Amino acid sequence: MTLIDELQAIAKQAEADLAATGADLEQVRVAYLGKKGKITTVLKSMKDLSIDEKKAVGQVGNQVRQQIQDSLAAMKAVQEKAAMDAKLQAETLDVTLPGAKPKLGNRHVLQQIMDEIESHFLGLGYQVIDDPIDSPEVETDEYNFERENLPKDHPARDMQDTFYVTPEILLRTQTSPVQSRALEKHDFSKGPLKMIAPGKVYRRDTDDATHSHQFHQVEGLVVGKNITMADLKGTLLSIMQELFGEKHQIRLRPSYFPFTEPSVEVDVSWNEVTEDTKPEDIRWIEVLGAGMTHPNVLKMDGVDPEEYSAFAFGLGPDRFAMLKYGVEDIRQFYLNDVRFLDQFNKRGN
């Protein structure tokens, strides 16, 4: 066998060794390409050959050496890829698993009730006045009390004791002052005034399950010609049925408020009322006060009570939310307990 034949046989054997499963590439490299490797051993035997033979054998030897080097590089790449694939398989992450979703906030339950009330009255053609200019929470004694037919010595003021900044500046106890400011600006040549005034109010109450020093109120006012108690009743029935359902009814009971005459307390039926419901089976609960605006109030706001009549009402979104959702403690609305507030994640829940 000539040296060229030996080199060609070495090339075939090297390919077979590299193709073997789990081949040690470094061991193969040393066995064939090392200083004492098979190719080196064959090439050392060229000393007895002629120049032309040495040239031919050396050329084949270089080809075989390069072929083995290329095969080693290719096999190394295959083994490295297999090792990487195995590592990735062992350390894989399931990207289809759901991630941690950020918790989204939601409108407060009281805001939901107020939005529902506002939406209803906007549909009836009312305007909503709640901007800081026309609806300030820090009020004057004149607008908060005197313009509402409550002079300084009036005993009804005791029911609305509030927080005073000065003897004449206070935190408002009602949103009625917004009505007075609206009347001062309204042009009756363009039609009647129909408005609601939502917002926070303050009274010096001791906080308990049904009282809070701060709560919300929505007051309504309609001023025009030939406004009657029937208009008031129809308006109140529409908002009660909007909030509690069409099968709920209302009743009006005589009462007293300094700023309305006549005045009424408004009850809504706790249970649904149908044609078959007997009067004695209806359970009533008081929800708001209302009445025909007192002539003195109209006069102080620059409106002639001989020409115009009006009705007014005031309702509490806090109380409505308690009734609608069965909340027993008003303080729950203000404690910012997410476990409580999450129950009202959607309007109507």
pLDDT bracket for residue 49 (50, 70, 90): confident
Whether 197 contacts 175, CB under 8 Å: yes
Task: Taking residues 18-32, report their average pLDDT.
Answer: 81
Best-predicted range by mean pLDDT among 81-85, 191-195, 241-245?
A: 191-195
Q: pLDDT tens across 272-290, in order?
A: 899 899 989 999 988 999 9
Is residue 348 over pLDDT 60?
Answer: no
pLDDT of residue 105: 78
Comparing CA positions, the residue from 310, 314, 283 lying closest to residue 295 is 310
Average pLDDT over residues 59-74: 88
Residue 247 in this model has a pLDDT that exceeds 70: yes
Residue 121 has a pLDDT of 96
The pairing of strands 309-315 and 164-166 is unpaired
The backbone torsions φ and ψ at residue 242, rounded to the nearest 5 degrees and listed phi first, read -65, -40
Average pLDDT, the chain: 89
- 156 is written with which tokens? 């009804």
Cβ within 8 Å of residue 211, ≥6 positions away = 205, 330
Give the pair of three-digit tokens for residue 307. 């020409």
Q: Work out whether strand 169-171 and strand 164-166 pair parallel, antiparallel, or are unpaired.
A: antiparallel
pLDDT at res. 119: 95
The pLDDT assigned to 132 comes to 87
- Predicted confidence band of residue 9 (pLDDT cuts 50, 70, 90): confident
Binding-site positions read 261
Q: Is residue 25 helix, strand or coil?
A: helix
Residues of each annotated binding site for Mg(2+) = 261
Quick one: fold of 109-342? Answer: BirA Bifunctional Protein; domain 2 (3.30.930)
pTM above 0.75, yes or no: no
The residue to which tokens 């359902």 are assigned: 245
Residues 132-180 have pLDDT tens digits of 889 999 999 999 999 999 998 888 888 788 899 999 999 999 999 999 9
Q: Could you read off the pLDDT of 94-144 as tens digits, one per residue?
A: 777 777 888 777 889 999 999 999 999 999 999 999 998 899 999 999 999
- Residue 193 CA from chain centroid, whole number: 35
**Closest-CA residue to 313 (of 226, 194, 214):** 194
pLDDT at 229: 96
- The answer, yes or no, to whether residue 349 has pLDDT greater than 50, is no
Q: pLDDT band for position 346 (50/70/90)?
A: low
Q: 54 pLDDT exceeds 70? A: yes
Residue 347 pLDDT: 47
- Overall average pLDDT of the 206-223 stretch: 91
CA–CA distance, 195 with 218 (Å, rounded to integer): 10
Q: How far is Cα 179 from Cα 159, in angstroms, rounded to an integer?
A: 20
The residue that leads in pLDDT, 312 or 45, is 312
Report the C-alpha gap between 314 and 126 in whole angstroms: 15
Provide mean pLDDT across the span 307-317.
95
Domain layout of the chain by residue ranges: 3-91, 109-342
Q: H-helix or E-strand containing 266? A: strand 260-269
